């Protein structure tokens, strides 16, 4: 059996509710607010367009133009920053936590910093309390990118609800997937009117696109299951993102997706527990194997692992371990082949010493192992055996 790298279990009942129930997007908005303890939530067609709306809202309140973000993260994060007329400023990542630590982000904050974007990579909570405390009174907004981390907790609080504004993605690889989609969360009363206005301008997808979204959501519910993935693997291959995005769609979330999202949100607790348990299993199993470096999780963190990240000693070993896991049927991935500064030549022209060597190292040595709720324990055991055999 082949098991995909990502998967939200969508049942027939979830689909039935999405097609037939009378609930509106406000039901999902209210449920997200309630779950995360915030006062406002807005929905968008993608995480990227959610970030764009937030940045435009920040920009209306300040003349500052710089946005600080980690050097190893989703490269597409650069797009909404640029589209909003702002300048990305990268900060180094830590090979221990695989996130940018608060001190690294704070080092990049200057008089022209509009916002800092801490990212919870792979569902691993990033260090927020120190960051928030240090930015207090500095007129710098914090935008928490929890795109891949719905269900993760930090000091018993849900991530995505800790900074001024938080963002989630509901794309096909995320902890809660409605094929595409995004959400913005905030309790900052002074921002929500503008946030609401910004996403209110997003056009509703036309009839054909709405139909396509429904069809893809149904197809995805079959493809993420081991049997579906084994049979339909060639089709799934064609649906995967293979090229760097150079732009993003700006559109509204559809009521169908909101109904599906609501149904899935009711099961998120269970999904998150499974992700945490799978991650802990891998953490324990790999801790006895030499040559594999495991992520350091913040003491107060409970990660809903989007995937479980490990670092191998070099690129060659990573390729060997990757191949060995793939042979077991489990789709481990390497994620982004390059850090952000090596993708955009106007950020770094490749001359002189690498300004973000840790980010480069992470991109060369990182391997991600699926932890989603459809991964059976036996598949993880086979993967651990494969890693052990390869590293022996």
Ligand X SMILES: Cc1ncc(COP(=O)(O)O)c(C=O)c1O
Q: Verify binding: residue 224, ligand X, rule CB under 6 A.
A: no
Distance CA 197, CA 201 (A): 7
Applying CB under 6 A, the span of 34-42, 142-150, 196-204, 258-266 interacting with ligand X comes to 142-150
Q: Verify binding: residue 366, ligand X, rule CB under 6 A.
A: no
Closer to ligand X by CB, 124 or 324: give it: 124
User: If you write DSSP's letter for every residue of 35-64 in order, what string do you get?
Assistant: HHT-SEEEEESBHHHHHHHHHHHHHTT-S-
Q: Verify binding: residue 6, ligand X, rule CB under 6 A.
A: no
Closer to ligand X by CB, 7 or 182: give it: 182
Return the half-sphere exposure (C-beta side, CA atoms, 13 A cut-off) of residue 179.
Answer: 26
Closer to ligand X by CB, 265 or 379: give it: 265
- Of residues 29, 169, 257, 360, which one binds ligand X by CB under 6 A? 169
| Cβ within 8 Å of residue 288, ≥6 positions away | none
Q: Verify binding: residue 74, ligand X, rule CB under 6 A.
A: yes
Smallest distance from ligand X to CB 31, Å: 19
Q: Verify binding: residue 126, ligand X, rule CB under 6 A.
A: no
Phi-psi region of 123 (alpha: psi -120 to 50; beta: other; left: phi over 0): left
Q: Verify binding: residue 144, ligand X, rule CB under 6 A.
A: no
| Nearest CA among 197, 191, 380, 349 for reference residue 279 | 380
- Of residues 73, 251, 363, 371, which one binds ligand X by CB under 6 A? 73
Closer to ligand X by CB, 297 or 320: give it: 297
Closer to ligand X by CB, 254 or 390: give it: 254
Smallest distance from ligand X to CB 235, Å: 20
Smallest distance from ligand X to CB 77, Å: 5
Q: Verify binding: residue 124, ligand X, rule CB under 6 A.
A: no
User: If you write DSSP's letter for every residue of 225-252 in order, what string do you get?
Assistant: SHHHHHHHHHHHHHHS--S--S-----P
- Of residues 171, 175, 333, 390, which one binds ligand X by CB under 6 A? 171
Q: Verify binding: residue 148, ligand X, rule CB under 6 A.
A: yes
Smallest distance from ligand X to CB 320, Å: 26
Q: Where are the beta strands (DSSP E) in the chain?
A: 40-44, 66-70, 87-91, 113-116, 141-145, 153-154, 157-158, 165-169, 182-186, 301-302, 307-311, 366-370
Residues facing 144 on adjacent strands: 166
Number of residues that bind ligand X (CB under 6 A): 14
Q: At residue 125, what are phi and psi to the nearest 5 degrees?
A: -70, 135
Closer to ligand X by CB, 75 or 279: give it: 75
Q: At residue 144, what are phi and psi to the nearest 5 degrees?
A: -90, 115
Smallest distance from ligand X to CB 324, Å: 26
DSSP alpha helices (H): ranges in 75-188?
78-83, 102-107, 129-135
Q: Verify binding: residue 99, ligand X, rule CB under 6 A.
A: no
Residues making up the chain, counted from first to last? 392
Q: Verify binding: residue 48, ligand X, rule CB under 6 A.
A: yes
Do 317 and 391 form a contact (C-beta atoms < 8 A)?
A: yes
Do 253 and 44 form a contact (C-beta atoms < 8 A)?
A: yes
Per-residue burial over 310-333, b = 16 or more CB atoms within 10 Å of its CB, e = otherwise: bbbeeeebbeebbebbeebebbbb
Q: Verify binding: residue 142, ligand X, rule CB under 6 A.
A: no
Applying CB under 6 A, the span of 40-48, 282-290, 353-361, 369-377 interacting with ligand X comes to 40-48
Q: Verify binding: residue 57, ligand X, rule CB under 6 A.
A: no
- Of residues 3, 119, 161, 260, which one binds ligand X by CB under 6 A? 119
Distance CA 286, CA 263 (A): 35
Q: Verify binding: residue 147, ligand X, rule CB under 6 A.
A: yes
Closer to ligand X by CB, 47 or 160: give it: 47
Binding site for ligand X (CB under 6 A): 46-48, 73-74, 76-77, 119, 145, 147-148, 169, 171, 182
């Amino acid at each position: 059996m082949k098991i995909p790298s990502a998967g939200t279990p969508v049942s027939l009942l979830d689909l039935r509710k999405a097609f037939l129930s009378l609930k509106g997007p406000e039901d999902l908005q209210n449920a997200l607010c309630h779950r995360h303890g915030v006062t406002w939530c807005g929905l968008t067609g993608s995480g990227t367009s959610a970030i764009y709306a937030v940045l435009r809202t920040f920009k209306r309140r300040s003349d500052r133009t710089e946005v600080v973000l980690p050097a190893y993260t989703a490269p597409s994060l650069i797009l909404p920053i640029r589209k909003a007329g702002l300048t990305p400023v990268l900060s180094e990542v830590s090979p221990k936590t695989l996130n940018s630590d608060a001190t690294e982000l704070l080092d990049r904050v200057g008089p022209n910093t509009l916002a800092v974007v801490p990212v919870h990579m792979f569902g691993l909570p990033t260090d927020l309390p120190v960051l928030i405390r240090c930015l207090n009174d500095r007129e710098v907004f914090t935008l928490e990118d929890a795109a891949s981390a719905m269900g993760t907790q930090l000091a018993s609080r849900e991530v995505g609800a800790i900074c001024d504004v938080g963002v989630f993605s509901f794309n096909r690889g995320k902890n809660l997937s409605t094929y595409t989609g995004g959400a913005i969360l905030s309790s900052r009363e002074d921002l929500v009117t503008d946030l609401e206005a910004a996403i209110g301008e997003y056009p509703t997808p036309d009839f054909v696109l709405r139909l396509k979204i429904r069809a893809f959501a149904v197809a995805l519910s079959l493809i993420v299951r081991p049997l579906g993935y084994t049979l339909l693997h060639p089709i799934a291959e064609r649906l995967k993102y293979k090229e760097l995005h150079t732009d993003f769609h700006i559109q509204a979330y559809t009521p169908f997706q909101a109904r599906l999202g609501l149904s899935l949100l009711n099961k998120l607790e269970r999904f998150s527990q499974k992700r945490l348990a799978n991650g802990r299993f891998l953490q324990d199993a790999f801790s006895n194997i030499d040559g594999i470096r495991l992520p350091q999780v913040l003491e107060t963190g409970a990660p809903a692992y989007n995937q479980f990240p490990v670092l191998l000693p070099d690129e060659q070993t990573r390729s060997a371990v990757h191949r060995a896991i793939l042979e077991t049927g489990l789709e481990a991935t390497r994620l982004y082949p390059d850090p952000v500064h090596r993708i955009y030549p106007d950020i770094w022209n490749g001359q002189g010493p690498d300004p973000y060597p840790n980010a480069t190292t992470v991109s060369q040595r990182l391997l991600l192992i699926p932890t989603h709720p459809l991964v059976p324990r036996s598949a993880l055991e086979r993967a651990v055996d494969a890693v052990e055999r390869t590293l022996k």
